[in-house]
Chains A and B, each alone.
Chain A
Amino acid sequence: MVSPRVLRVPLESYRVPGINETLIRVILKLSVRSAQNRFNEVRFQFDSATSICSMPVVRAVDLGVVMPHKAVELSVKTAGGEKKQMRRQGHIQVVLPALGEDVFDWPCHFVEGAAMTETPLLGLVGVLDNLRLTLEGKYALEAPHGWLLVERAQ
């Protein structure tokens, strides 16, 4: 049974050249805490194949997110093969206003050299301690391709 405090986020549809099917992605708007204790809305793409949340360093600087200065070179597995990236290993403090005022603290990698416009990724580590994320393909006029259901983890 679904608890009464469930955030239902419609899945976004999009098309790309060369693929006939309509594609789907999951965008979740989160409020991320800055060094000045302000919360700014950031669009994260939920990716269940991503272990740790990530965000471009330039975006974190723009948002005023506290992050370490030291970066380490990591080998990241992507669908297109392994690639090396310089990443700063830190945390983000996040609120989901629709689910209450609790502030969640999740590990986050800040990626050097990534463009400001790269969409931050919502991974699994830490996130699943606080949230239950369910993908549901149930059709609705407001969500023709289904929903992401977000609940507090019990």
Chain B
Amino acid sequence: MAERRTTAKKGWRPRKPKTRKATIEVLVPPPPSPLRGLLPTPPEVEEMVESCFKDRPASPAYRLHTTETMKLQYYFSGHEVAYRETPQGHEVLAVGSTEVRRLIRKGSEEELHGVIFAVADLW
């Protein structure tokens, strides 16, 4: 009969995990731009869009959508945004939680129809 082997040694104890130092970087969003309505396209956004579609050309509609989303990111990095999609681009209605809440409280159902609520990605 085969002898049963075990790898466990007498007095074995689980190793304590090594203490590791971690650096936590807190990303604080910069203050949002005071701009509202349709936003101008800054050169930084144009450059970013170019790099996105360097290897994968996109239709004008798709390009416009990406450009508009990146403009929100550029101007309102990390902040809450309420906007509406128009043929000319994203029309910004409110930025930051106070303005967004005010828009919801005061806006009629018609005014809020089609409004998109989002948090702009960090730039």
Contact = CB atoms under 8 A, between A and B. Distances in A.
A16 B100 contact: no
Contacts, number: 64
B121 interface: yes
Contact of A22 (B52, B61, B80, B114): B52
Contacts of B73: 14-15
B62 A143 contact: yes
A141 B118 contact: no
Contacts of A17: 122-123
A100 B75 CA distance: 39
A117 B117 contact: yes
Interface of B: 48, 51-53, 56-59, 61-62, 65-66, 69-70, 73, 80-82, 97, 100-101, 104, 114, 116-119, 121-123
9 contacts: A12-B65, A14-B70, A15-B48, A17-B122, A115-B80, A117-B100, A118-B119, A142-B59, A144-B56
